[in-house]
Amino acid sequence: MSDGLDPHESLQRGVVSAVGAIGLATLASRALGYVRDMVVARAFGAGPVTDAFFVAFRIPNLLRRLLAEGALSTAIIPVFSESLAHGGPESFGRMARAVAGAALVALCVVSTLGALLAPWIVAVMAPGWTADAGLFDLAVRLTRVMFPYLALVGLAALAMGALNAHHRFFTAALGPAALNVAMILAVLGLASRMAPPILSLAVGVLVGGLLQLLVQLPELRRLGVPLIPSTEWRHPAVVQIAHRLWPAVFALAAVQITVVVNTLLASLLPTGSISYLYYADRVMEFPLGIFGIALASASLPTMSRQAATGDTRGVAATLGFALRLSIFVSLPATVGLVILSAPIVRVLFERGLFTAADTAGTAQALVWYSVGLTGFAGARIVAQAFYAVGRPGIAVRLGVMAIAVNAVSAIALMGPMAHGGLALASSIGTFAHLAGLVWVARRHFGPIGGRALVTSTGRILVACVPLAAWCVLARWVIPMGGGSGVTAAWLAATVAGGAGVFIVVSGAVGSPERAVLSRVLPWRRSR
């Protein structure tokens, strides 16, 4: 029986339901990620050893986001969606095998080159370490151990693309949780048996990459999607993906090159700056990953299907809706992260070798990263629209502009603000990126609901005022004399109370995004 919804509202419900599936799996992954970071912080602190690991891990992780999970997923989902719309299961399976074969060869070549060129890569990533032979050599060693992770996670990204094209999101989003479990167990079980102990984390990364692939295979098998590589490298889908891949790499590089620039500049600042930026970024990625990136991932298959049928206005409508929904979540998250930055970092990380000074440094970076949360989420969503319609070159040019804005801002701000200036520069760059993307999207797709976007944002800002007052009051009465358990309970109560305040006030001011979210909750779906 029909639920009585018009097609546009049904589309919104479909996108939000997909976001719920991705967000739930991402929530599990982020929670395990915090456990992982707590274990790492307790075991290794925020000193030169962790700096070396984070630099080494950032290199293959950067390539993972550019070549594997990021650009590869972005390039293959529109092609896979089009194949499902116009071909049968047998044709789709043949295409998947051909793409898997080509991807495996390319990823293995890049992994091998990365391991061979590790000394030069580390020298570029952290030029301030060339005078410290011990730290430099450790970073090189860790880089070489972890580079094969790229090939493993690349195949996992291919599996994720196939599942997402079938509108199966939950299992694919569980992959990062497997990585976190592997890293936690590696530190707990191997750190005392390896020299240096930090090498255990690199081993955990490799095992986690394998698990990210294996966790998706059962559902792929149920769907009848084979990922056994073939040598049909001239398959039309391989050519299509290759043509989309490199523009997508450069487009997504806007954020990732920002990370590289900040790491390079942070290596010139006092020891611990790289770790402060890393831990702060991890905290900010919690709301960004659970909803911002989840929304971008959920909207891409929908926009790709609309683009495949020539429904440009549908793409614009989906884009406008996704932007409004991202602002509804990211603005209150920004308020909470800025006001509660220090207690959040204290509860998550301040134990073992992670000191009060490390908390202060990380909280400073978190404040300035959080300012750009809306920009990070929005830019990712708008860029997906250009990938969906096969115009990634537009996002490339705007990404280069964002990189330039970030670099200039970082150099200008790192002197007076140290690592906090680097975090602020990232926020400035991403808002410039978002502004450019929205302006071009308006010209390319036509109206994307700008008036509705401004009205909705105004309502959200009004709802954020009592939320900010709640957070300030809670910060004022924080139980400073209690133990970590008391502080954690206080923080959990503060976050839950703040969410309640925002939901109530956003409903009172008539926020349409709040209404859409409430309609897809399980207890509101039943008739």
Residue 107 in this model has a pLDDT that exceeds 90? no
| Residues 203 and 261 placed together within one structural domain of the fold | yes
Range from 28-37, 232-241, 365-374 that averages highest in pLDDT: 365-374
Residue 454 lies in a domain: no
Percent with pLDDT over 70 in the chain: 87
How do residues 504-526 score in pLDDT, each as one tens digit? Answer: 999 899 888 887 776 554 434 43
Report how far residue 471's alpha carbon sits from residue 446's, in angstroms, rounded to the nearest whole number.
40
| Helix 48-63, helix 89-116: angle, nearest 10 | 140
Q: Is the dihedral of CA 518, 523, 526, 527 positive or negative?
A: negative
Q: How confident is the model at residue 278 (pLDDT cuts 50, 70, 90)?
A: confident
Q: Which residue has the tokens 């909750």?
A: 521
Q: What is the pLDDT of residue 12?
A: 60
Cα–chain center distance at 275: 18
Span 227-238, average pLDDT: 82
Amino acid, single-letter form, for residue 154:
G
The H-assigned helical ranges of 224-355 are 236-266, 273-287, 294-308, 312-339, 341-349
| Residues 260 and 218 placed together within one structural domain of the fold | yes
Q: Which residues of 100-116 are buried (b: 16+ CB within 10 A; e: fewer)?
A: bbbbbebbeebbeebbe
Q: Which of 392, 420, 448 is the last residue of a domain?
A: 448
Span 373-399, average pLDDT: 83
Q: pTM to 2 decimals? A: 0.71
Q: What is the pLDDT of residue 444?
A: 83
Q: Which of 448, 482, 498 is the last residue of a domain?
A: 448
Nearest to 390 by CA among 251, 235, 222, 192: 251
Range from 56-60, 440-444, 522-526 that averages highest in pLDDT: 440-444
Residue-by-residue DSSP string for 419-458: HHHHHHHHHHHHHHHHHHHHHHHHHHH----HHHHHHHHH
Span 59-63, average pLDDT: 68
How do residues 306-323 score in pLDDT, each as one tens digit? Answer: 777 777 888 888 888 889
Residue 173 in this model has a pLDDT that exceeds 80? no
With a CB cutoff of 8 Å and minimum separation 6, the contacts of 73 are: 157, 160, 161, 164, 297
Residue 239 lies in a domain: yes
Span 170-186, average pLDDT: 85
| Residues 412 and 465 placed together within one structural domain of the fold | no
| Residues 501 and 373 placed together within one structural domain of the fold | no
Residue 358 lies in a domain: yes
| Residues 364 and 322 placed together within one structural domain of the fold | yes
| Residues 443 and 465 placed together within one structural domain of the fold | no
Q: What is the pLDDT of residue 424?
A: 95
The H-assigned helical ranges of 117-174 are 118-125, 133-146, 149-165, 170-173
Report how far residue 200's alpha carbon sits from residue 357's, in angstroms, rounded to the nearest whole number.
26
Q: What is the pLDDT of residue 8?
A: 54
Report how far residue 441's alpha carbon sits from residue 444's, in angstroms, rounded to the nearest whole number.
5
Q: Which of 415, 448, 481 is the last residue of a domain?
A: 448
Top pLDDT among 470 and 31 is at 470
| Residues 247 and 136 placed together within one structural domain of the fold | yes
Residue 381 lies in a domain: yes
Report how far residue 361's alpha carbon sits from residue 475's, in angstroms, rounded to the nearest whole number.
18
Range of the domain at 519: 461-527
With a CB cutoff of 8 Å and minimum separation 6, the contacts of 521 are: none
Top pLDDT among 226 and 438 is at 438
Q: Which residue has the tokens 């402060």?
A: 276
Residue 481 in this model has a pLDDT that exceeds 60? no
Residue 201 lies in a domain: yes
Q: How confident is the model at residue 413 (pLDDT cuts 50, 70, 90)?
A: very high
Span 358-376, average pLDDT: 93
Q: What is the pLDDT of residue 155?
A: 87
Query: How many angstroms separate the Cα of 456 from the Cα of each of 135, 323, 355, 449, 516?
Result: 50, 10, 42, 10, 13
Residue 327 in this model has a pLDDT that exceeds 70? yes
Residue 46 in this model has a pLDDT that exceeds 80? no
Nearest to 288 by CA among 356, 203, 230, 374: 374
Query: How many angstroms separate the Cα of 299 from the Cα of each of 306, 318, 381?
Result: 11, 7, 8
Q: What is the pLDDT of residue 331?
A: 94
Tokens of 345: 């970092």
CA atoms within 13 A on the CB side of 437: 34
| Residues 101 and 68 placed together within one structural domain of the fold | yes
Report how far residue 103's alpha carbon sits from residue 99's, in angstroms, rounded to the nearest whole number.
6
Top pLDDT among 126 and 7 is at 126
Q: What is the pLDDT of residue 18?
A: 66
What's the chain's average pLDDT? 82
Q: What is the pLDDT of residue 3?
A: 45
- Are 84 and 166 spatial neighbours (Cβ–Cβ below 8 Å)? yes
3-state secondary structure 449-478: CHHHHHHHHHHHHHHHHHHHHHHHHHHHCC
| Residues 465 and 435 placed together within one structural domain of the fold | no
Total of domains in the chain: 2
Span 89-114, average pLDDT: 85
Tokens of 23: 């967000």
| Residues 333 and 477 placed together within one structural domain of the fold | no
Peptide bond into 522 cis (omega under 30): no
| Residues 526 and 430 placed together within one structural domain of the fold | no
Residue 453 lies in a domain: no
Residue 471 lies in a domain: yes
| Residues 376 and 508 placed together within one structural domain of the fold | no
Span 276-280, average pLDDT: 89
Residue 288 in this model has a pLDDT that exceeds 50? yes
Span 62-72, average pLDDT: 61
Lowest mean pLDDT among 93-97, 244-248, 259-263: 244-248
The H-assigned helical ranges of 45-116 are 48-63, 71-86, 89-116
Q: Which residue has the tokens 């000074």?
A: 357
Residue 3 lies in a domain: no
Q: What is the pLDDT of residue 11?
A: 58
**3-class SS of residue 197:** coil
Q: How confident is the model at residue 361 (pLDDT cuts 50, 70, 90)?
A: very high
**3-class SS of residue 131:** coil
Span 452-470, average pLDDT: 93
Lowest mean pLDDT among 8-12, 44-48, 150-154, 440-444: 8-12
Q: Which residue has the tokens 């998550």?
A: 348
Cβ burial of 443 (10 Å; 0-12, 13-18, 19+) is exposed
Q: What is the pLDDT of residue 1?
A: 38
